[in-house]
């Protein structure tokens, strides 16, 4: 049997009550009984706390999981966790998410995404780790016209504060990698979806509105494309990255070259929003969430683009494929079917 590289390791996962964090921690706990997973989250009320508590209930039977509630912006709490557990691998998924929310609530983004991330970097410096993996976002590509988006592209023109904080994370991580030889990998996530996902995401919000008989707004008059990536594919990609930290190397000047990488984590197959809504509606009917005679046309409204939004997201994942040999396999219909079935079980 091939031994897992997580055997005997202590892994800190921040944002563990969140969508990606909960799925990732659950998979690591299931497959690595000798690993210790420390889950950290402030369980804020950005969206329904009951959903976050539902995700945390997944860990009730795991002896190798420990939950710590706290705020990443509290430096004392972060240092205490590192002092107590000395994590080998840190996966920082805690962040204030959402593009539109950042327009009206900028303080939350500065606190969580900048101060919180700085506290993680400082802790990794004081208590050296084997690998820091952190969530960036496809939002860093802003209004880039060239598609698919490549990690070699310039990303200096964010169109939202959320995107600016995520780009800042990458810059801070690079500086700490260079100065303190901390192996770090940034992950630019592209539109993650699936069961128990984030209610502020389009597919979830659309479903909530359709249930109530409200109209759903489809932005840019339906001319939007998103690189939807199913949660299980995302988790597989993250785990592969976690297992292999960027190599430490010396430069010609005798100083360390930064052990630093950034990858696109996406499906590399953008879908038109109108097609997406069509598939979602069919799967909601199939799952019994909506009646078979539901009039979708009467509940659709095509509207202009929103501030901070972009017309297309499209990941070039060739680097990920080259380095880790993985490409997402879940079709949009398969993923939305699983979401619809979960929604029916959880809500209806």
Catalytic positions are: 162
| Maximal CA-CA distance, the chain | 70
- From the number of C-beta atoms within 10 Å of its C-beta (0-12, 13-18, 19+), residue 291 rates as exposed
**Could you identify the residue written with the tokens 């880790």?**
324
Interior/surface letters 175-208, b for 16+ CB within 10 angstroms, e for the rest: ebbbeebbbbbbbbbbbbbbbbbbeebbbbebbe
At a CB cut-off of 8 Å and minimum separation 6, what does 107 contact? Answer: none
The whole-angstrom distance between residue 50's C-alpha and the CA centroid of its chain comes to 20
SS3 90: strand
Extract the tokens encoding 251. Answer: 């430069």
Cis peptide before 316 (omega within 30 of 0): no
């Amino acid at each position: 049997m091939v031994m897992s590289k997580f055997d005997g390791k202590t892994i800190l996962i921040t944002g563990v009550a969140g969508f990606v964090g909960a799925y990732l921690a659950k998979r690591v706990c299931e497959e690595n009984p000798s690993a210790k997973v420390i889950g950290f989250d402030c369980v804020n009320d950005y969206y329904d706390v009951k959903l976050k508590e539902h995700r945390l209930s997944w860990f009730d039977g795991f002896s190798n999981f420990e939950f710590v509630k706290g705020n990443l912006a509290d430096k004392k709490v972060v240092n205490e966790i590192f002092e107590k557990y000395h994590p080998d691998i840190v996966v920082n998924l805690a962040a204030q998410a959402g593009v539109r929310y950042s327009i009206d609530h900028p303080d939350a983004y500065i606190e969580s995404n900048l101060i919180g991330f700085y506290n993680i970097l400082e802790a990794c410096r004081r208590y050296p780790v084997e690998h820091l993996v952190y969530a960036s976002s496809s939002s860093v590509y802003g209004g880039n016209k060239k598609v698919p988006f490549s990690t070699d592209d310039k990303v200096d023109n964010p169109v939202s504060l959320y995107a600016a904080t995520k780009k800042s994370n990458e810059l801070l991580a690079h500086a700490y990698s260079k100065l303190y030889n901390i192996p770090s990998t940034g992950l630019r996530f592209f539109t993650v979806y699936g069961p128990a996902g984030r209610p502020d995401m389009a597919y979830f919000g659309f479903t909530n509105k359709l249930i109530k008989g409200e109209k759903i707004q489809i932005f840019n008059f339906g001319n939007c494309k998103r690189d939807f990536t199913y949660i299980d594919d995302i988790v597989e990609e993250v785990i592969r990255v976690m297992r292999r930290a960027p190599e430490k190397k010396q430069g010609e000047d005798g100083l360390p070259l930064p052990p630093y990488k950034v990858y696109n984590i996406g499906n590399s197959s953008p879908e038109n929003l109108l097609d997406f809504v069509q598939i979602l509606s069919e799967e909601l009917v199939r799952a019994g969430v909506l009646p078979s005679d539901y009039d979708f046309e009467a509940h659709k409204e095509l509207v202009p683009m929103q501030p901070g939004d972009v017309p297309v997201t499209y990941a070039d994942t060739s680097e990920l494929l080259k380095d880790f040999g993985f490409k997402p396999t879940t079709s949009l219909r398969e993923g939305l079917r699983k979401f619809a079935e979960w929604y029916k079980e959880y809500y209806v």
